[in-house]
């Protein structure tokens, strides 16, 4: 099966699964993502495909990567990016080393 077909098949299922895992109704996800609940219903039914913008909004609202929603990765646990991790990406090597040493000292308490 090619990637596009896989994404088309997997997305509606994954969207519903992760929404239910996060204990959200379609209405709650609508409010959180700023996407109309009717659109979320259509996306879960597979009758519509998400725009790039809506895919991004759903990923943020559900705290999951768009790659997971699209079926490009199967590991849900590794998909949500912690804000601390994102912040670390923007630090200098020297600052990252300082934080690494600090974290190590916390582990050794």
Q: What is the pLDDT of residue 14?
A: 94
> Quick one: pLDDT at residue 90?
65
Give the model's pLDDT for residue 88.
61
- pLDDT given at position 104: 83
Confidence at residue 89, expressed as pLDDT on a 0 to 100 scale: 58
Token digits for 31?
Answer: 């409010």
Q: How many helices (H) and strands (E) does the chain have?
A: 7, 0
Q: Domain spans of the chain?
A: 3-75, 79-109
**Predicted pLDDT of residue 1:** 41
pLDDT at 101: 86
Q: Output the pTM of the full model.
A: 0.65
CATH of 3-75, one of 1.20.1050.10, 3.40.109.10, 3.30.1490.190, 1.10.260.40: 1.10.260.40
**CA 106/CA 40 separation, integer angstroms:** 43
pLDDT at 79: 47
Q: Tokens 């998400």, residue?
A: 50
Q: Checking phi first, is residue 73 left (phi over 0); if not, alpha (psi -120 to 50) or beta?
A: beta
pLDDT in tens, the chain (109 residues): 444 445 458 999 999 999 999 999 999 999 999 999 999 999 999 999 999 999 999 999 998 988 889 988 887 654 444 455 556 656 788 887 888 888 888 888 7
């Amino acid at each position: 099966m090619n990637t596009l077909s896989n994404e088309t098949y997997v997305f509606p299922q994954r969207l519903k699964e992760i929404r239910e895992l996060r204990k959200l109704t379609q209405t709650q996800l609508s409010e959180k993502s700023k996407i109309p609940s009717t659109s979320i219903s259509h996306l879960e039914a597979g009758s519509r495909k998400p725009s790039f913008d809506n895919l991004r909004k759903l990923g943020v609202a559900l705290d999951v990567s768009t790659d997971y929603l699209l079926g490009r990765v199967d590991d849900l646990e590794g998909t949500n990016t912690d804000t601390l991790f994102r912040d670390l990406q923007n630090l200098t090597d020297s600052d990252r080393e300082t934080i690494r040493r600090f974290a190590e000292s916390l582990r050794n308490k």
